[in-house]
């Protein structure tokens, strides 16, 4: 157990730069308490102002926590979310950062993920690759994704790329730990075509067979395959089916394991998500955010192949 506390302390001190004068909240739920306890004990070695808070279990990623949790996040220096489902793309996270807090999210993290894989990547290499793709996203207008003769197009014009390096050290910073992706909110009504998802899907896991998604004017209309109905049920009938995100994985140590926290960071993959994107520059407010990972696609920005 001591080696896990050492890993946790390195994350708190290195990735999050937690100081002895700061207030640190380890936010968890009933399914992730064991790992949260490791971080809580590690946090106490840095600051005595460390709290372990068990929140009500969310049903899906992107769902807003109860008001009491949102208020707490907005009034502490650092929040580390070790929860079953992601709080990254929530208004609660956004408000906490607007108040000057730092928020890191580790949804569904496992003991195995602490000991191997994405957390042990070359941080400098990740920062360099993230920066390359963010700079490309910032000037791109049109994106084309091709996978097994299926093509999806959408616009990212006048949208800004987001860096996710796993480094959350300054006021207002946020991100996943582990990380390694560059992402952006596409223009919500611009996506048209089909995309074959053959990696994994948040809240579903690694796919046993590919899932073909048909998207028209930014909305997911059909999901054809074994897990199609399950995906549509997660997204609901409303704004959850609107395209929310396009991301590029750059972490060469990440492993496709069924946990989207790591899966979407795998080098050579891209992911698209549906649902909420207001917290990172989009206009769609939804109480869900579900990522879908694609292995080895071909991607063009404004007609130039970038992947």
Closest C-alpha among 201, 196, 287 to residue 241: 287
DSSP sequence for 104-130? EE-TT--HHHHHSSGGGS-HHHHHHHH
- Give the length of the chain: 307
In the predicted structure, residue 307 carries a pLDDT above the cut 90? yes
- Helix axis angle for 33-44 and 2-10, nearest 10°, is 70
The fold adopted by the segment(s) 2-108 is Thermophilic metalloprotease-like (3.40.1830)
What is the CB-side half-sphere exposure of residue 209 using CA atoms within 13 A?
A: 7
User: pLDDT at residue 259 above 80?
Assistant: yes
pLDDT at position 147 over 90: yes
Q: What is the C-alpha to C-alpha distance for residues 105 and 46, in angstroms, rounded to an integer?
A: 19
Query: What mean pLDDT is predicted for residues 116-124?
Result: 90
Summarize the confidence of residues 47-67 as an average pLDDT: 96
Nearest to 246 by CA among 204, 211, 297, 212: 297
Task: Report the mean per-residue pLDDT for the chain.
Answer: 96
Query: Residues 222-254: pLDDT tens digits?
Result: 999 999 999 999 999 999 999 999 999 999 999
pLDDT, residue 273, reads: 98
Percent of all residues in the chain with a pLDDT value above 70, rounded to a whole number: 100
pTM of the model: 0.88
Q: Is the pLDDT of residue 181 over 90?
A: yes
pLDDT at 261: 92
For residue 58, pLDDT over 80 is answered with yes
Each residue of 27-50: pLDDT tens digit?
A: 999 999 999 999 999 999 999 999
pLDDT(1) > 90: no
Average pLDDT, stretch 129-155?
A: 98
Q: Measured between alpha carbons, how far is 109 from 121 in angstroms, rounded to an integer?
A: 16
The domain spans of the chain are 2-108, 121-305
Contact residues for 2 (Cβ-Cβ < 8 A; gap 6+): none
Give percent of the chain with pLDDT exceeding 90. Answer: 97
DSSP 7-76: HHHHIIIIIS---TTS-EEEEE-TTSHHHHHHHHHHHHTT-S-EEEEEPPPPSSTTPPPPHHHHHHHTTS
**Rounded CA separation 228/230 (Å):** 5
């Amino acid at each position: 157990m001591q080696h896990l506390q050492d890993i946790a302390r390195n994350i708190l001190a290195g990735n999050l730069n937690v100081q002895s004068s700061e207030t640190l909240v380890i936010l968890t739920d009933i399914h992730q308490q064991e790992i949260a306890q490791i971080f809580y004990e590690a946090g106490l070695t840095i600051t005595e102002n460390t709290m372990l808070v068990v929140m009500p279990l969310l049903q899906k990623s992107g769902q807003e926590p109860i008001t009491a949790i949102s208020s707490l996040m907005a009034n502490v220096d650092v929040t580390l979310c070790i929860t079953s489902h992601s709080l990254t793309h929530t208004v609660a996270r956004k408000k906490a950062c607007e108040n000057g807090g730092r928020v890191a999210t580790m949804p569904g993290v496992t003991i195995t993920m602490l000991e191997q894989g994405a957390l042990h990547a070359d941080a400098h290499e990740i920062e360099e690759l993230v920066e390359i793709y963010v700079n490309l996203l910032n000037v791109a207008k049109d994106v084309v994704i091709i996978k097994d003769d299926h093509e999806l197009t959408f616009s990212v014009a006048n949208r800004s790329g987001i860096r996710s390096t796993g480094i959350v050290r300054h006021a207002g910073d946020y991100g996943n730990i582990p990380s390694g992706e560059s992402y952006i909110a596409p223009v919500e009504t611009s996506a048209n075509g089909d995309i074959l998802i053959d990696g994994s899907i948040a809240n579903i896991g690694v796919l046993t067979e590919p899932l073909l998604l048909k998207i028209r004017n930014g909305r997911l209309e059909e999901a054809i395959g074994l897990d199609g109905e399950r995906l549509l049920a997660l997204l609901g009938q409303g704004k959850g089916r609107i395209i929310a995100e396009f991301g590029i994985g750059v972490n060469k140590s990440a492993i496709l394991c069924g946990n989207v926290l790591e899966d979407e960071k795998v080098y050579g993959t891209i992911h698209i998500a549906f649902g909420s994107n207001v917290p990172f520059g989009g206009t769609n407010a939804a109480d869900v955010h579900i990522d879908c990972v694609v292995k080895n696609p071909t991607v063009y920005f404004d007609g130039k192949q970038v992947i």
